[in-house]
Structure 1
Amino acid sequence: MIVADDLGWANLGSRRTAETAEEAQGWAETHTPNLDALRSEGISLERHYATSSSCSLWSGRLPTHVTHGDLSVNHQMLWNKKDNNSGFDGIPRAMTGLGTKMKQAGYETHFIGKWDAGWATPEHTPLGRGFDSFLGFLQAENDYWSKDRGPLKYLLDVCLNKFRDFVLFNATYRGGVTGSIATELGCNATLVQDKPFTALGCDMDNRSKCLPDSCYEEAMFLQHAKQILRKVDTNRSKPLFLTFAHHLPHAPMQVPHSFLQKLLGCLGVI
């Protein structure tokens, strides 16, 4: 299952035309060949709406049935101590989610990308929701390059704020993405956690030094997805349920320099 976060109706190239100057400009800026192919070869649901899709997608419930926002009680920890089931930010602990149901059906389950459906306790994270492994971030919009919490910086939990964004959880490892793990994911560079970078991945203090495209968050997610698929190809003892919840095109608006050059080339700027 592939999730494109914050993808608008007009963010598909196949929805753009050249009938007006504005549409022609939009078409030139919108490059989605793979999504366009999926739409043309599959089924496009033209009137299918959801709100707060992360919670709705995993719980099957309307957003009003999950807690989100100011709980008015001990807000710093997002925890209402009078309600240890629903008194947290995110899907209530007692709700059974999609990952758990797939696990019960005998699937090998993996989650990659943006979670944002609760992280107050381990039970709220992907590992507590039926997924065998998780590579990604828990909150809404971490930085694509430094992998830190980005502008929001509200990743608070009842475990004395032990959780962090950009983590890897599986059967043998539970923690942050270290330099060695980053190298396995294609980012052979010094660990960049919490270091400020420009939107193009260049050192804020020395803009001539830029990270390689392989250190872009989405590139690392893709590398991990390929690793999972290769493993499944050699060992099909269980069916696979892989969720790839892209961060793109959600804020912060950051892309590799090579992509910007490609886009400018298509627009005839360079």
Structure 2
Amino acid sequence: MKLRRIFSLLAGIGLLVGVGLAGEAAAKTPAKQPNIVYIIADDQGWADVGYHGSDIKTPNIDALASGGMRLEQFHAQPLCTQTRSALMTGRYPYRTGMQSAVIPSNGTYGLDTDERTLPQALKDAGYYTAMVGKWHIGHADQKYWPRQRGFDYHFGAVLGEIDYFTHSAHGKTDWYRDNELVREDGYATDLLGDDAVRLIREYDGKKPMFLYLAFTAPHSPFQAPEHYQARNPRITEPTRRAYAGMITALDDQVGRVVAELKKRGMLEDTLIVYQSDNGGVRSSKFAGEADVSKLVLPASNGPYRDGKGTLYEGGTRVIALANWKGHIKPGTVNNGQMHVVDVYPTLIKLAGGSLEQPKPIDGIDMGPMLTKGVPSPRTTTIYSVEPQQAAVLKDGWKLVWRTTLPSSVELFELAKDPYEQNNLAAANPAKVAELQQLVEAEAKTAAPSKFIANAFGAMMPILFGATNLPGQEGADEHDIDAIP
């Protein structure tokens, strides 16, 4: 009898130990890898979204914002190529030589092939990777194209600007599916939405999905079918009306993507991020290669100063949100600092991937900020370091420094003056000196500008005392016809 009780007791202890070990094992089991849908708009102004009070209605984007987290101090680079290279690498553009301008149609360079890209890292973590839309970080050689940089699939444009109906630039079609030229009819924004929806509909679920959906809208040329323009009847100025129609079309496609995720039962397992690549255009010199000098530029960045191409908040503080049911608290408005370089480590860590790589990253994992509401760990943001200008934000103080003659130095206390109206440089020389020293230190580590090297070629060593510059060889031998 006593032996029976002893054995019973031992069995009970074993059961408890087993349950405890099983619980510990369950606690250590990694969470299910989320699907990731990363949506990026092109040149959408900060104020040109419904939840920022726009006269352009964006119900689908607004619904993502209200159901997730608005990132109200999310900074991108001031120009397209710069932002996209930072997104793909987690590294500031001055680390990769992509810090100046954008890659022009006749540019022969691209993001170096030894840079580890976001889709490559996610593939290593077991993801199926697909890109639909605009690339613009290398087009003259296929080694720079999306399929060669980690994407299992690509449909869309590789250049920076296309006609929305002919899908062409300078008379040459720029519309590809898996490196093969595609000629088809349709409005570009609709076609990109169609393809994204198709990918979700046909998704087999064997691997988690990373879908990078990079719309060309609402970048110039300002074109939209009449039925989209008609949905903004109170907007009568012609260019603003076309621009509004472009955003309406974009918003419709966002809604279709979300609806398809819900239909497939994927929505609760999907992290959706939406951002603009830079601020809206307020100067014709940053409107692209089309002549818009006689148009009323339609984008609005609200109260923020200036726009695309500048280092002021209007050029770099962009629309951004994150939505992930059950993980990100709905209706959250987050004012913590976040930069586009932070996306790379954040997504990789949420996907259970590795950040081990040869080149260091500048991004910070913002997963705890998104999912747990902890404060942003970022206290310093480098807007840009270029030969002619730089800007940096540290501990609330922002320096905007132009070195070309006539040079200028501006200092803003951003928390008190987010619209950059009061230049405090003269009253704070020590702070100016501190931030200039930071910029100088970063400039010493910068890679040579590929844009400048490509533009000036053999003159570079004479002008800047530099040698062995990237993109220098054969710079005058290629143009848009180099695209296969």
TM-score, normalised to structure 1's length?
Answer: 0.66
Q: Who is 1:208 aligned against?
A: none
Q: Distance in 2 between matches of 1:13 and 1:251?
A: 21
| Pair 1:43–1:168, CA change in 2 (3 A) | same
The equivalences for 1:28-39 within 5 A come to 28=55, 30-39=56-65
Q: Who is 1:41 aligned against?
A: 67
The equivalences for 1:207-218 within 5 A come to 215-218=186-189
Deviations 1:55-88 (A, max 9, x none): 1111111111233459xxxx99645xxxxxxxx2
Aligned residues: 193
Q: Distance in 2 between matches of 1:146 and 1:118?
A: 21
Provide the secondary structure at the position in 1 that maps to 2:205.
Answer: coil
CA offset at residue 120 of structure 1? 3.1
Q: Who is 2:95 aligned against?
A: 65
Q: Distance in 2 between matches of 1:114 and 1:139?
A: 7
Q: CA RMSD in A?
A: 2.4
Structure 1 gap segments, 5+ residues each:
17-26, 80-87, 156-163, 188-214
CA offset at residue 4 of structure 1? 1.4
Q: Who is 1:54 aligned against?
A: 84
Q: Distance in 2 between matches of 1:246 and 1:268?
A: 25
CA offset at residue 267 of structure 1? 5.2
Letter in 1 for 2:177: L
Are the counterparts in 2 of residues 141 and 250 from structure 1 also a CA contact under 8 Å? Answer: yes
Letter in 1 for 2:70: S
Deviations 1:8-27 (A, max 9, x none): 210111111xxxxxxxxxx4
Provide the secondary structure at the position in 1 that maps to 2:194.
Answer: helix
Letter in 2 for 1:10: A
Q: Distance in 2 between matches of 1:252 and 1:105?
A: 38
| Pair 1:105–1:257, CA change in 2 (3 A) | same
Structure 2 gap segments, 5+ residues each:
1-37, 238-484
Q: Who is 1:262 aligned against?
A: 231
Deviations 1:202-252 (A, max 9, x none): xxxxxxxxxxxxx101111111111111111xx211111111111111111
Are the counterparts in 1 of residues 189 and 216 from structure 2 also a CA contact under 8 Å? Answer: yes
Are the counterparts in 1 of residues 105 and 159 from structure 2 also a CA contact under 8 Å? Answer: no
Provide the secondary structure at the position in 2 that maps to 1:241.
Answer: strand
Q: Distance in 2 between matches of 1:59 and 1:112?
A: 18
Provide the secondary structure at the position in 1 that maps to 2:130.
Answer: strand
The equivalences for 1:1-270 within 5 A come to 1-16=38-53, 27-28=54-55, 30-51=56-77, 52-68=82-98, 78-79=107-108, 88=109, 90-150=110-170, 165-169=174-178, 174-178=179-183, 182=184, 187=185, 215-232=186-203, 235-264=204-233, 266=234
| Pair 1:78–1:261, CA change in 2 (3 A) | closer
Provide the secondary structure at the position in 1 that maps to 2:232.
Answer: helix
CA offset at residue 130 of structure 1? 0.5
Are the counterparts in 2 of residues 99 and 129 from structure 1 also a CA contact under 8 Å? Answer: yes
Larger radius of gyration: 2
Letter in 2 for 1:49: H
Provide the secondary structure at the position in 2 that maps to 1:11.
Answer: coil
Identity %: 31
CA offset at residue 46 of structure 1? 1.2
Most deviating of 215-224 and 4-13: 4-13
| Pair 1:229–1:268, CA change in 2 (3 A) | same
Are the counterparts in 2 of residues 59 and 91 from structure 1 also a CA contact under 8 Å? Answer: no
Q: Distance in 2 between matches of 1:100 and 1:217?
A: 27
Q: Distance in 1 between matches of 2:105 and 2:67?
A: 47
Q: Distance in 1 between matches of 2:152 and 2:165?
A: 26
Q: Distance in 2 between matches of 1:65 and 1:267?
A: 42
Are the counterparts in 1 of residues 113 and 149 from structure 2 also a CA contact under 8 Å? Answer: no
TM-score, normalised to structure 2's length?
Answer: 0.38
